[in-house]
Homo-oligomer: A and B are copies of this chain.
Amino acid sequence: MKISALQTARAAYKPKLPPGIQGGVKVVEGKQTQSVADQKEIQALFPKTYGLPVITFQAEGQRAQLPAFNVGVILSGGQAPGGHNVICGLFDGIKSFNQESRLYGFLLGPGGLVDHKYVELTGDIIEQYRNTGGFDIIGSGRTKLEKKEQFDKGLEIIRKLNIKALVIIGGDDSNTNAAVLAEYYTSINAGVQVIGCPKTIDGDLKNSSIETSFGFDTACKVYSEVIGNIQRDCNSAQKYWHFIKLMGRSATHIGLECALQVQPNIALISEEIEAKKQTLDDVVNYIADIVVKRAEKKNNFGIVLIPEGLIEFIPAFRALISELNDFLAAHGDEYAKVPKNEQIQYIIDHLSAENSKIYASLPVGVARQLTLDRDPHGNVQVSLIETEKLLGELVGRRLAQLKSEGKYSGSFSTQYHFFGYEGRCAAPSNFDADYCYSLGTNAALLIASGKTGYMSIVNNLTKPSTEWVAGGIPITSMMNMEKRHGEMKPVIQKALVELEGAPFKYFAAHRDEWALSTCYVYPGPIQYFGPSEVCDQTTITLRLEHQ
Protein backbone atom coordinates (compact mmCIF):
# COMPACT_ATOMS: atom_id res chain seq x y z
CA MET A 1 0.00 0.00 0.00
CA LYS A 2 1.37 3.39 -1.01
CA ILE A 3 1.36 6.03 1.72
CA SER A 4 1.74 9.75 1.09
CA ALA A 5 4.87 11.56 2.30
CA LEU A 6 2.80 13.59 4.75
CA GLN A 7 1.07 10.51 6.16
CA THR A 8 4.46 8.85 6.63
CA ALA A 9 5.88 11.88 8.43
CA ARG A 10 2.73 12.35 10.45
CA ALA A 11 2.70 8.75 11.71
CA ALA A 12 5.56 9.70 14.02
CA TYR A 13 3.60 12.45 15.77
CA LYS A 14 3.07 11.74 19.49
CA PRO A 15 -0.26 13.24 20.55
CA LYS A 16 -0.20 15.14 23.83
CA LEU A 17 -2.18 13.94 26.83
CA PRO A 18 -3.54 16.00 29.73
CA PRO A 19 -1.15 15.59 32.70
CA GLY A 20 -3.94 14.06 34.83
CA ILE A 21 -4.15 10.90 32.69
CA GLN A 22 -0.53 10.27 31.73
CA GLY A 23 0.24 7.92 34.62
CA GLY A 24 -1.68 6.69 37.63
CA VAL A 25 -4.94 8.45 38.34
CA LYS A 26 -7.19 9.31 41.22
CA VAL A 27 -10.92 9.62 40.52
CA VAL A 28 -12.32 12.85 41.93
CA GLU A 29 -16.11 12.84 42.20
CA GLY A 30 -17.94 16.11 41.66
CA LYS A 31 -21.49 16.70 42.65
CA GLN A 32 -24.42 14.54 41.62
CA THR A 33 -25.93 15.55 38.29
CA GLN A 34 -29.44 16.28 37.09
CA SER A 35 -30.61 16.19 33.50
CA VAL A 36 -30.79 19.63 31.87
CA ALA A 37 -34.62 19.42 31.81
CA ASP A 38 -37.48 16.97 32.35
CA GLN A 39 -35.66 15.48 35.33
CA LYS A 40 -38.57 13.30 36.44
CA GLU A 41 -39.07 11.68 33.07
CA ILE A 42 -35.37 11.16 32.44
CA GLN A 43 -34.83 9.67 35.88
CA ALA A 44 -37.77 7.30 35.35
CA LEU A 45 -36.25 6.15 32.06
CA PHE A 46 -32.73 5.77 33.47
CA PRO A 47 -33.23 4.54 37.05
CA LYS A 48 -29.81 2.86 37.21
CA THR A 49 -27.63 5.48 35.54
CA TYR A 50 -29.35 8.73 36.44
CA GLY A 51 -27.89 11.31 38.83
CA LEU A 52 -24.30 10.02 38.83
CA PRO A 53 -21.57 12.52 39.65
CA VAL A 54 -19.26 14.29 37.24
CA ILE A 55 -15.76 12.88 37.67
CA THR A 56 -12.29 14.18 36.90
CA PHE A 57 -8.99 12.33 36.87
CA GLN A 58 -6.02 13.63 38.81
CA ALA A 59 -2.47 12.34 38.47
CA GLU A 60 -1.40 10.03 41.27
CA GLY A 61 1.59 7.71 41.13
CA GLN A 62 2.10 5.09 38.42
CA ARG A 63 -0.48 3.56 36.08
CA ALA A 64 -2.03 0.61 37.99
CA GLN A 65 -1.65 -2.85 36.49
CA LEU A 66 -5.02 -4.61 36.25
CA PRO A 67 -6.19 -8.00 35.04
CA ALA A 68 -6.51 -7.96 31.23
CA PHE A 69 -9.86 -6.71 29.93
CA ASN A 70 -11.38 -6.56 26.48
CA VAL A 71 -13.10 -3.59 24.94
CA GLY A 72 -15.28 -3.15 21.85
CA VAL A 73 -15.35 0.06 19.88
CA ILE A 74 -17.92 1.41 17.41
CA LEU A 75 -17.76 4.38 15.04
CA SER A 76 -21.26 5.75 14.56
CA GLY A 77 -22.62 8.22 12.01
CA GLY A 78 -20.80 10.72 9.83
CA GLN A 79 -17.03 10.78 9.67
CA ALA A 80 -15.07 13.33 11.71
CA PRO A 81 -11.32 13.96 11.71
CA GLY A 82 -9.63 12.31 14.67
CA GLY A 83 -11.80 9.20 15.02
CA HIS A 84 -8.76 7.00 14.42
CA ASN A 85 -6.88 8.77 17.19
CA VAL A 86 -9.69 8.07 19.66
CA ILE A 87 -9.25 4.39 18.83
CA CYS A 88 -5.44 4.62 19.09
CA GLY A 89 -5.71 6.33 22.49
CA LEU A 90 -8.18 3.70 23.65
CA PHE A 91 -5.85 0.93 22.45
CA ASP A 92 -2.81 2.42 24.18
CA GLY A 93 -4.94 3.09 27.26
CA ILE A 94 -6.18 -0.46 27.79
CA LYS A 95 -2.71 -1.85 26.99
CA SER A 96 -1.23 0.45 29.64
CA PHE A 97 -3.28 -1.38 32.26
CA ASN A 98 -2.40 -4.80 30.89
CA GLN A 99 -0.60 -5.76 27.67
CA GLU A 100 -2.99 -8.73 27.31
CA SER A 101 -6.07 -6.51 27.08
CA ARG A 102 -7.68 -6.66 23.67
CA LEU A 103 -9.55 -4.17 21.51
CA TYR A 104 -12.27 -5.31 19.09
CA GLY A 105 -13.67 -3.00 16.43
CA PHE A 106 -17.23 -3.58 15.24
CA LEU A 107 -17.48 -3.07 11.51
CA LEU A 108 -19.39 -0.39 9.61
CA GLY A 109 -21.05 1.16 12.61
CA PRO A 110 -23.44 -0.06 15.32
CA GLY A 111 -24.77 -2.65 12.85
CA GLY A 112 -21.49 -4.55 13.33
CA LEU A 113 -22.39 -5.21 16.97
CA VAL A 114 -25.83 -6.52 16.10
CA ASP A 115 -24.60 -8.58 13.16
CA HIS A 116 -21.47 -9.80 14.95
CA LYS A 117 -19.09 -8.32 12.40
CA TYR A 118 -15.84 -7.32 13.99
CA VAL A 119 -12.08 -7.36 13.78
CA GLU A 120 -9.49 -7.48 16.50
CA LEU A 121 -7.51 -4.26 16.40
CA THR A 122 -3.97 -5.42 16.92
CA GLY A 123 -0.89 -3.24 17.29
CA ASP A 124 0.00 -3.79 13.63
CA ILE A 125 -3.33 -2.39 12.50
CA ILE A 126 -3.30 0.47 14.99
CA GLU A 127 0.14 1.63 13.84
CA GLN A 128 -1.20 2.28 10.34
CA TYR A 129 -3.87 4.68 11.55
CA ARG A 130 -2.17 6.99 14.06
CA ASN A 131 -2.95 10.66 13.28
CA THR A 132 -4.80 9.79 10.09
CA GLY A 133 -8.20 11.04 8.95
CA GLY A 134 -11.20 8.91 8.08
CA PHE A 135 -13.10 6.14 9.80
CA ASP A 136 -11.81 3.44 7.47
CA ILE A 137 -10.04 1.46 10.18
CA ILE A 138 -13.39 -0.24 10.91
CA GLY A 139 -15.85 1.87 8.88
CA SER A 140 -18.88 3.67 10.17
CA GLY A 141 -22.64 3.36 9.75
CA ARG A 142 -25.97 4.83 10.78
CA THR A 143 -27.82 1.84 12.24
CA LYS A 144 -29.52 3.09 15.40
CA LEU A 145 -29.10 0.97 18.53
CA GLU A 146 -32.57 1.44 20.03
CA LYS A 147 -34.25 -1.89 20.47
CA LYS A 148 -33.99 -4.57 23.13
CA GLU A 149 -33.48 -7.24 20.46
CA GLN A 150 -30.45 -5.34 19.17
CA PHE A 151 -29.05 -5.02 22.67
CA ASP A 152 -29.53 -8.73 23.35
CA LYS A 153 -28.03 -9.71 20.01
CA GLY A 154 -25.07 -7.47 20.78
CA LEU A 155 -24.68 -9.08 24.17
CA GLU A 156 -24.12 -12.47 22.51
CA ILE A 157 -20.97 -11.32 20.76
CA ILE A 158 -19.93 -9.28 23.79
CA ARG A 159 -20.07 -12.48 25.83
CA LYS A 160 -18.27 -14.48 23.17
CA LEU A 161 -15.41 -11.99 23.02
CA ASN A 162 -15.42 -11.51 26.78
CA ILE A 163 -15.88 -7.77 26.33
CA LYS A 164 -16.04 -5.71 29.50
CA ALA A 165 -16.99 -2.40 27.92
CA LEU A 166 -18.18 -0.79 24.69
CA VAL A 167 -16.96 2.59 23.53
CA ILE A 168 -19.35 4.33 21.16
CA ILE A 169 -17.87 7.21 19.20
CA GLY A 170 -20.72 9.29 17.88
CA GLY A 171 -22.85 12.41 17.85
CA ASP A 172 -25.81 13.35 20.01
CA ASP A 173 -28.09 10.55 18.80
CA SER A 174 -25.42 7.87 19.10
CA ASN A 175 -24.53 9.00 22.59
CA THR A 176 -28.20 9.02 23.55
CA ASN A 177 -28.32 5.42 22.39
CA ALA A 178 -25.13 4.71 24.34
CA ALA A 179 -26.91 5.91 27.49
CA VAL A 180 -29.91 3.70 26.76
CA LEU A 181 -27.61 0.73 26.20
CA ALA A 182 -25.70 1.48 29.42
CA GLU A 183 -28.95 1.61 31.35
CA TYR A 184 -30.18 -1.64 29.82
CA TYR A 185 -26.99 -3.62 30.44
CA THR A 186 -26.88 -2.32 34.01
CA SER A 187 -30.53 -3.16 34.57
CA ILE A 188 -30.00 -6.79 33.55
CA ASN A 189 -26.71 -6.98 35.43
CA ALA A 190 -24.86 -7.84 32.26
CA GLY A 191 -21.63 -6.47 33.66
CA VAL A 192 -20.99 -4.52 30.47
CA GLN A 193 -20.05 -0.86 30.63
CA VAL A 194 -20.81 1.66 27.89
CA ILE A 195 -18.80 4.83 27.36
CA GLY A 196 -19.49 7.55 24.77
CA CYS A 197 -17.16 9.95 22.95
CA PRO A 198 -18.34 13.32 21.56
CA LYS A 199 -17.89 13.29 17.79
CA THR A 200 -19.30 15.55 15.10
CA ILE A 201 -17.92 18.09 12.69
CA ASP A 202 -21.21 19.99 13.07
CA GLY A 203 -20.19 21.29 16.48
CA ASP A 204 -23.71 20.90 17.86
CA LEU A 205 -22.75 18.43 20.59
CA LYS A 206 -21.53 20.83 23.24
CA ASN A 207 -22.73 22.14 26.57
CA SER A 208 -21.43 23.21 29.94
CA SER A 209 -19.44 19.96 30.20
CA ILE A 210 -18.39 19.40 26.58
CA GLU A 211 -16.44 22.35 25.22
CA THR A 212 -16.44 21.06 21.66
CA SER A 213 -16.97 17.84 19.75
CA PHE A 214 -13.98 16.41 17.97
CA GLY A 215 -13.56 16.97 14.25
CA PHE A 216 -15.10 20.43 14.29
CA ASP A 217 -11.66 22.06 14.49
CA THR A 218 -10.16 20.21 11.52
CA ALA A 219 -13.24 20.30 9.31
CA CYS A 220 -13.72 24.05 9.78
CA LYS A 221 -10.06 24.61 9.00
CA VAL A 222 -10.31 22.64 5.74
CA TYR A 223 -13.43 24.54 4.71
CA SER A 224 -11.80 27.84 5.67
CA GLU A 225 -8.73 26.95 3.64
CA VAL A 226 -10.73 26.44 0.43
CA ILE A 227 -13.09 29.34 1.11
CA GLY A 228 -10.04 31.54 1.70
CA ASN A 229 -8.58 30.39 -1.60
CA ILE A 230 -11.84 31.20 -3.37
CA GLN A 231 -11.91 34.60 -1.67
CA ARG A 232 -8.43 35.36 -2.95
CA ASP A 233 -9.56 34.33 -6.44
CA CYS A 234 -12.70 36.42 -6.08
CA ASN A 235 -10.67 39.46 -5.06
CA SER A 236 -8.16 38.90 -7.90
CA ALA A 237 -10.64 38.36 -10.74
CA GLN A 238 -13.26 40.76 -9.31
CA LYS A 239 -16.06 39.34 -11.42
CA TYR A 240 -18.00 36.68 -9.52
CA TRP A 241 -20.24 36.32 -6.54
CA HIS A 242 -19.43 32.92 -5.04
CA PHE A 243 -22.33 31.24 -3.23
CA ILE A 244 -20.79 28.62 -0.93
CA LYS A 245 -22.93 26.07 0.91
CA LEU A 246 -21.40 24.40 3.95
CA MET A 247 -22.31 21.06 5.49
CA GLY A 248 -24.30 21.01 8.72
CA ARG A 249 -28.09 20.78 8.63
CA SER A 250 -29.14 21.21 12.22
CA ALA A 251 -26.95 24.10 13.38
CA THR A 252 -24.75 26.80 11.83
CA HIS A 253 -21.62 26.38 13.95
CA ILE A 254 -19.55 25.47 10.87
CA GLY A 255 -20.82 28.47 8.93
CA LEU A 256 -20.20 30.80 11.86
CA GLU A 257 -16.69 29.46 12.57
CA CYS A 258 -15.73 29.71 8.89
CA ALA A 259 -17.10 33.25 8.79
CA LEU A 260 -14.97 34.17 11.79
CA GLN A 261 -11.94 32.65 10.10
CA VAL A 262 -12.32 34.10 6.60
CA GLN A 263 -14.44 37.28 7.04
CA PRO A 264 -16.70 36.86 4.00
CA ASN A 265 -19.05 39.53 2.72
CA ILE A 266 -22.12 37.60 3.81
CA ALA A 267 -22.69 34.62 6.11
CA LEU A 268 -26.23 33.45 6.77
CA ILE A 269 -26.91 32.05 10.24
CA SER A 270 -29.98 29.79 10.27
CA GLU A 271 -30.66 30.32 13.97
CA GLU A 272 -30.87 34.09 13.50
CA ILE A 273 -33.14 33.76 10.47
CA GLU A 274 -35.47 31.55 12.47
CA ALA A 275 -35.42 33.81 15.52
CA LYS A 276 -36.28 36.80 13.37
CA LYS A 277 -38.97 34.79 11.55
CA GLN A 278 -37.46 35.85 8.22
CA THR A 279 -38.94 34.77 4.91
CA LEU A 280 -37.01 33.61 1.87
CA ASP A 281 -37.70 37.06 0.44
CA ASP A 282 -36.10 38.70 3.46
CA VAL A 283 -32.96 36.63 2.98
CA VAL A 284 -32.84 37.35 -0.75
CA ASN A 285 -33.33 41.06 -0.18
CA TYR A 286 -30.62 41.11 2.46
CA ILE A 287 -28.13 39.60 0.00
CA ALA A 288 -29.30 41.73 -2.93
CA ASP A 289 -28.99 44.87 -0.85
CA ILE A 290 -25.31 44.13 -0.16
CA VAL A 291 -24.68 43.26 -3.82
CA VAL A 292 -26.13 46.65 -4.77
CA LYS A 293 -24.06 48.54 -2.21
CA ARG A 294 -20.85 46.81 -3.28
CA ALA A 295 -21.68 47.48 -6.94
CA GLU A 296 -21.91 51.19 -6.15
CA LYS A 297 -18.20 50.99 -5.31
CA LYS A 298 -17.56 48.95 -8.48
CA ASN A 299 -17.10 45.80 -6.41
CA ASN A 300 -19.16 43.38 -8.49
CA PHE A 301 -17.88 40.40 -6.57
CA GLY A 302 -18.30 38.81 -3.20
CA ILE A 303 -18.62 35.74 -1.03
CA VAL A 304 -21.80 34.34 0.54
CA LEU A 305 -21.65 31.48 3.06
CA ILE A 306 -24.84 29.43 3.31
CA PRO A 307 -25.59 26.78 5.93
CA GLU A 308 -26.87 23.52 4.46
CA GLY A 309 -29.94 23.54 6.72
CA LEU A 310 -30.96 27.10 5.92
CA ILE A 311 -34.38 26.59 4.37
CA GLU A 312 -35.54 24.35 7.18
CA PHE A 313 -35.00 27.30 9.53
CA ILE A 314 -37.18 29.64 7.47
CA PRO A 315 -40.60 29.30 9.14
CA ALA A 316 -42.59 30.06 5.98
CA PHE A 317 -40.59 27.57 3.95
CA ARG A 318 -40.96 24.93 6.62
CA ALA A 319 -44.74 25.45 6.47
CA LEU A 320 -44.64 24.95 2.69
CA ILE A 321 -42.66 21.73 3.03
CA SER A 322 -45.03 20.50 5.70
CA GLU A 323 -48.11 21.13 3.56
CA LEU A 324 -46.39 19.56 0.53
CA ASN A 325 -45.62 16.45 2.58
CA ASP A 326 -49.21 16.18 3.77
CA PHE A 327 -50.63 16.90 0.35
CA LEU A 328 -48.44 14.41 -1.50
CA ALA A 329 -49.11 11.76 1.14
CA ALA A 330 -52.83 12.14 0.53
CA HIS A 331 -52.84 12.82 -3.24
CA GLY A 332 -49.63 11.18 -4.42
CA ASP A 333 -51.35 8.75 -6.77
CA GLU A 334 -53.38 11.46 -8.41
CA TYR A 335 -50.30 13.67 -8.71
CA ALA A 336 -48.37 10.88 -10.37
CA LYS A 337 -50.86 10.90 -13.22
CA VAL A 338 -50.53 14.63 -13.94
CA PRO A 339 -48.55 15.24 -17.16
CA LYS A 340 -45.04 16.45 -16.42
CA ASN A 341 -45.45 19.92 -17.82
CA GLU A 342 -48.63 20.52 -15.79
CA GLN A 343 -47.26 19.31 -12.46
CA ILE A 344 -46.09 22.64 -11.12
CA GLN A 345 -49.39 24.33 -11.94
CA TYR A 346 -51.24 21.40 -10.36
CA ILE A 347 -49.37 21.90 -7.10
CA ILE A 348 -49.93 25.66 -7.23
CA ASP A 349 -53.66 25.06 -7.68
CA HIS A 350 -53.91 22.73 -4.70
CA LEU A 351 -51.89 24.39 -1.94
CA SER A 352 -53.19 26.95 0.53
CA ALA A 353 -53.00 30.51 -0.74
CA GLU A 354 -49.89 31.43 1.27
CA ASN A 355 -47.86 28.35 0.41
CA SER A 356 -49.06 28.41 -3.17
CA LYS A 357 -47.61 31.88 -3.53
CA ILE A 358 -44.22 30.80 -2.18
CA TYR A 359 -44.19 27.68 -4.34
CA ALA A 360 -45.05 29.66 -7.46
CA SER A 361 -42.20 32.06 -6.77
CA LEU A 362 -39.53 29.32 -6.76
CA PRO A 363 -37.27 28.64 -9.73
CA VAL A 364 -38.65 25.75 -11.79
CA GLY A 365 -35.77 23.44 -10.91
CA VAL A 366 -36.31 23.83 -7.18
CA ALA A 367 -40.08 23.53 -7.49
CA ARG A 368 -39.57 20.25 -9.33
CA GLN A 369 -37.04 18.98 -6.78
CA LEU A 370 -39.55 19.63 -4.02
CA THR A 371 -42.24 17.42 -5.51
CA LEU A 372 -40.36 14.84 -7.51
CA ASP A 373 -37.65 13.56 -5.22
CA ARG A 374 -39.07 12.12 -2.06
CA ASP A 375 -37.45 9.92 0.54
CA PRO A 376 -38.58 6.36 1.39
CA HIS A 377 -41.10 7.80 3.89
CA GLY A 378 -42.65 9.91 1.10
CA ASN A 379 -41.21 13.14 2.46
CA VAL A 380 -39.78 15.94 0.42
CA GLN A 381 -35.98 15.62 0.39
CA VAL A 382 -34.94 19.00 1.61
CA SER A 383 -31.28 18.03 1.64
CA LEU A 384 -31.31 17.62 -2.15
CA ILE A 385 -32.31 21.21 -2.71
CA GLU A 386 -29.36 23.20 -3.98
CA THR A 387 -29.94 26.12 -1.64
CA GLU A 388 -26.90 27.96 -2.97
CA LYS A 389 -28.35 27.96 -6.50
CA LEU A 390 -31.83 28.78 -5.25
CA LEU A 391 -30.50 31.89 -3.50
CA GLY A 392 -28.26 32.84 -6.41
CA GLU A 393 -31.18 32.66 -8.85
CA LEU A 394 -33.56 34.58 -6.62
CA VAL A 395 -30.96 37.28 -5.93
CA GLY A 396 -30.41 37.53 -9.69
CA ARG A 397 -34.13 38.05 -10.20
CA ARG A 398 -34.30 40.67 -7.50
CA LEU A 399 -31.34 42.52 -9.01
CA ALA A 400 -32.98 42.47 -12.44
CA GLN A 401 -36.01 44.11 -10.88
CA LEU A 402 -33.87 46.75 -9.15
CA LYS A 403 -32.06 47.37 -12.42
CA SER A 404 -35.35 47.96 -14.22
CA GLU A 405 -36.22 50.48 -11.49
CA GLY A 406 -32.90 52.25 -12.02
CA LYS A 407 -31.67 51.30 -8.54
CA TYR A 408 -28.81 49.04 -9.58
CA SER A 409 -26.39 49.12 -12.47
CA GLY A 410 -23.76 46.50 -11.59
CA SER A 411 -23.07 43.07 -13.07
CA PHE A 412 -23.93 39.87 -11.23
CA SER A 413 -22.28 36.58 -12.22
CA THR A 414 -22.32 33.61 -9.88
CA GLN A 415 -20.25 30.55 -9.04
CA TYR A 416 -21.60 27.83 -6.76
CA HIS A 417 -19.81 25.51 -4.33
CA PHE A 418 -20.76 22.98 -1.68
CA PHE A 419 -18.21 21.80 0.86
CA GLY A 420 -18.81 18.85 3.12
CA TYR A 421 -17.04 15.65 2.14
CA GLU A 422 -13.81 17.65 1.74
CA GLY A 423 -13.49 18.13 5.50
CA ARG A 424 -14.98 15.09 7.26
CA CYS A 425 -12.00 12.81 6.67
CA ALA A 426 -9.08 15.22 6.62
CA ALA A 427 -6.08 14.21 8.70
CA PRO A 428 -6.71 15.69 12.16
CA SER A 429 -5.11 19.02 13.08
CA ASN A 430 -2.68 18.93 15.99
CA PHE A 431 -5.59 20.00 18.20
CA ASP A 432 -7.91 17.21 17.06
CA ALA A 433 -5.08 14.68 17.09
CA ASP A 434 -4.30 15.53 20.73
CA TYR A 435 -7.92 15.94 21.79
CA CYS A 436 -9.03 12.66 20.24
CA TYR A 437 -6.09 10.66 21.54
CA SER A 438 -6.88 12.09 24.99
CA LEU A 439 -10.58 11.21 24.68
CA GLY A 440 -9.65 7.62 23.80
CA THR A 441 -7.06 7.21 26.54
CA ASN A 442 -9.51 8.77 28.95
CA ALA A 443 -12.23 6.33 27.87
CA ALA A 444 -9.89 3.49 28.85
CA LEU A 445 -9.52 5.08 32.29
CA LEU A 446 -13.31 5.42 32.68
CA ILE A 447 -13.61 1.73 31.86
CA ALA A 448 -10.85 0.80 34.30
CA SER A 449 -12.66 2.88 36.94
CA GLY A 450 -15.82 0.83 36.42
CA LYS A 451 -17.91 3.67 34.99
CA THR A 452 -20.86 3.23 32.64
CA GLY A 453 -23.25 5.66 30.99
CA TYR A 454 -20.51 8.28 30.95
CA MET A 455 -19.16 10.35 28.16
CA SER A 456 -15.40 10.80 27.94
CA ILE A 457 -14.59 14.52 28.25
CA VAL A 458 -11.52 16.72 28.16
CA ASN A 459 -11.76 20.35 29.18
CA ASN A 460 -9.82 23.61 29.40
CA LEU A 461 -9.16 23.15 25.69
CA THR A 462 -8.21 26.72 24.88
CA LYS A 463 -5.20 26.30 27.16
CA PRO A 464 -2.07 24.29 26.29
CA SER A 465 -2.56 20.55 26.77
CA THR A 466 -0.49 20.72 29.97
CA GLU A 467 -3.54 22.40 31.50
CA TRP A 468 -6.18 20.13 30.01
CA VAL A 469 -8.43 18.26 32.45
CA ALA A 470 -9.90 14.86 31.62
CA GLY A 471 -12.83 13.06 33.18
CA GLY A 472 -16.38 11.85 32.57
CA ILE A 473 -19.88 13.23 32.55
CA PRO A 474 -23.04 11.13 32.95
CA ILE A 475 -24.77 11.15 29.57
CA THR A 476 -28.18 11.43 31.25
CA SER A 477 -27.19 14.83 32.63
CA MET A 478 -27.23 16.26 29.10
CA MET A 479 -30.70 14.97 28.26
CA ASN A 480 -34.19 16.32 27.94
CA MET A 481 -37.41 15.00 26.40
CA GLU A 482 -38.09 15.91 22.78
CA LYS A 483 -40.63 14.85 20.20
CA ARG A 484 -39.14 12.51 17.58
CA HIS A 485 -41.36 10.96 14.92
CA GLY A 486 -44.41 11.89 16.99
CA GLU A 487 -43.16 10.35 20.24
CA MET A 488 -41.52 11.92 23.29
CA LYS A 489 -37.97 10.57 23.61
CA PRO A 490 -35.05 11.22 25.93
CA VAL A 491 -32.34 12.87 23.86
CA ILE A 492 -29.20 14.89 24.30
CA GLN A 493 -30.01 18.54 23.74
CA LYS A 494 -28.51 19.82 20.49
CA ALA A 495 -26.48 22.99 20.81
CA LEU A 496 -27.58 25.59 18.26
CA VAL A 497 -25.74 28.84 17.60
CA GLU A 498 -26.63 31.12 20.51
CA LEU A 499 -27.51 34.61 19.38
CA GLU A 500 -26.40 35.88 22.78
CA GLY A 501 -23.15 33.92 22.64
CA ALA A 502 -19.76 35.57 22.14
CA PRO A 503 -19.03 34.00 18.69
CA PHE A 504 -22.26 35.25 17.12
CA LYS A 505 -21.95 38.64 18.82
CA TYR A 506 -18.44 39.09 17.46
CA PHE A 507 -19.68 38.17 14.00
CA ALA A 508 -22.71 40.48 14.25
CA ALA A 509 -20.52 43.37 15.37
CA HIS A 510 -18.26 43.01 12.32
CA ARG A 511 -20.46 41.76 9.50
CA ASP A 512 -21.50 45.17 8.16
CA GLU A 513 -17.88 46.15 7.72
CA TRP A 514 -17.06 42.78 6.12
CA ALA A 515 -20.05 43.17 3.78
CA LEU A 516 -19.07 46.47 2.24
CA SER A 517 -15.32 46.58 2.63
CA THR A 518 -13.31 43.60 1.44
CA CYS A 519 -11.75 42.20 4.62
CA TYR A 520 -11.00 38.67 3.46
CA VAL A 521 -8.63 36.58 5.56
CA TYR A 522 -6.80 33.67 3.92
CA PRO A 523 -6.15 30.98 6.54
CA GLY A 524 -4.33 28.58 4.20
CA PRO A 525 -4.00 24.84 4.72
CA ILE A 526 -3.65 23.11 8.09
CA GLN A 527 0.02 23.02 9.12
CA TYR A 528 1.45 20.24 11.26
CA PHE A 529 5.11 21.15 11.62
CA GLY A 530 5.45 24.94 11.81
CA PRO A 531 5.39 27.59 14.52
CA SER A 532 2.92 26.97 17.32
CA GLU A 533 0.79 30.02 16.51
CA VAL A 534 0.18 28.47 13.09
CA CYS A 535 -0.18 24.81 14.08
CA ASP A 536 -1.72 24.66 17.52
CA GLN A 537 -4.55 27.19 17.60
CA THR A 538 -8.05 25.78 17.86
CA THR A 539 -11.25 27.39 16.58
CA ILE A 540 -12.17 31.04 17.05
CA THR A 541 -15.56 29.83 18.34
CA LEU A 542 -13.91 28.00 21.22
CA ARG A 543 -11.61 30.93 21.98
CA LEU A 544 -14.47 33.42 22.07
CA GLU A 545 -16.64 31.13 24.17
CA HIS A 546 -13.96 30.68 26.80
CA GLN A 547 -12.13 33.99 26.85
Contact = CB atoms under 8 A, between A and B. Distances in A.
Interface of A: 1-10, 79, 108, 132-136, 139-140, 222, 225-226, 228-230, 232-238, 242, 261, 263, 340-341, 415, 417, 421-427, 519, 521-531, 533-534, 537
- Copies of this subunit: 2
29 contacts: A2-B263, A3-B521, A4-B521, A4-B522, A4-B523, A5-B533, A6-B523, A6-B525, A79-B232, A132-B232, A133-B232, A134-B235, A135-B236, A136-B235, A139-B237, A222-B525, A229-B422, A229-B424, A229-B425, A230-B425, A233-B424, A236-B425, A341-B341, A415-B421, A417-B422, A427-B522, A527-B528, A529-B529, A529-B534
A232 B533 contact: no
A263 to B, nearest CB: 7
Kindly list the 4 A-B residue pairs having the minimum CB-CB distance in the complex, ordered from nearest.
Answer: A525-B525, A529-B530, A134-B232, A232-B425
A7 B524 contact: yes
Q: Which of A236, A427, A524 gathers most chain B CB within 10 Å?
A: A236
Given A133-B229, A232-B133, A236-B425, A530 B528 contact: yes
A9 B534 contact: yes
Nearest to A530: B529
B236 A134 contact: yes
Nearest to A518: B136
A369 to B, nearest CB: 12
Contacts of A527: 6, 525, 527-529
A59 to B, nearest CB: 32
Contact of A10 (B10, B228, B426, B524): B524
Contact of A226 (B263, B415, B422): B422
Contacts of A421: 229-230, 233-234, 242, 415, 417
A6 B524 contact: yes
A499 to B, nearest CB: 24
Nearest to A133: B232
Given A132-B522, A341-B341, A537 B5 contact: yes
Given A79-B236, A415-B421, 16 more contacts: A2-B519, A6-B530, A9-B531, A9-B534, A10-B524, A108-B238, A132-B522, A134-B232, A139-B237, A226-B422, A229-B424, A232-B426, A340-B341, A417-B421, A426-B525, A527-B528
Nearest to A236: B135
A87 to B, nearest CB: 13
A237 B79 contact: yes
Contacts of A424: 229, 233
B136 A236 contact: yes
A233 B83 CA distance: 12
Contacts of A525: 6, 222, 225, 426-427, 525-527
A7 B350 CA distance: 56
Given A233-B79, A423-B229, A133 B2 contact: no
A522 B236 contact: no
A134 B426 CA distance: 24
Contacts of A139: 236-238
Nearest to A235: B136
Contacts of A531: 9, 529
Contacts of A261: 4
Nearest to A226: B422
Q: In the complex, which of the residues A9, A136, A139, A528 has the most CB atoms of chain B within 10 Å of its own CB atom?
A: A136
A196 to B, nearest CB: 20
A117 to B, nearest CB: 12
Contacts of A229: 133, 222, 421-426
A415 B4 CA distance: 25
B233 A4 contact: no
Given A233-B425, A415-B421, A7 B522 contact: yes
Nearest to A219: B229
Contacts of A534: 5-6, 9, 529
Contacts of A2: 263, 519, 521
Contacts of A425: 229-230, 232-233, 236
A417 B521 CA distance: 24
Contacts of A415: 421
A529 B235 CA distance: 27
A22 to B, nearest CB: 26
Contacts of A417: 421-422
A236 B138 CA distance: 8
A191 B6 CA distance: 50
Contacts of A234: 421
A108 to B, nearest CB: 7
Contacts of A108: 238
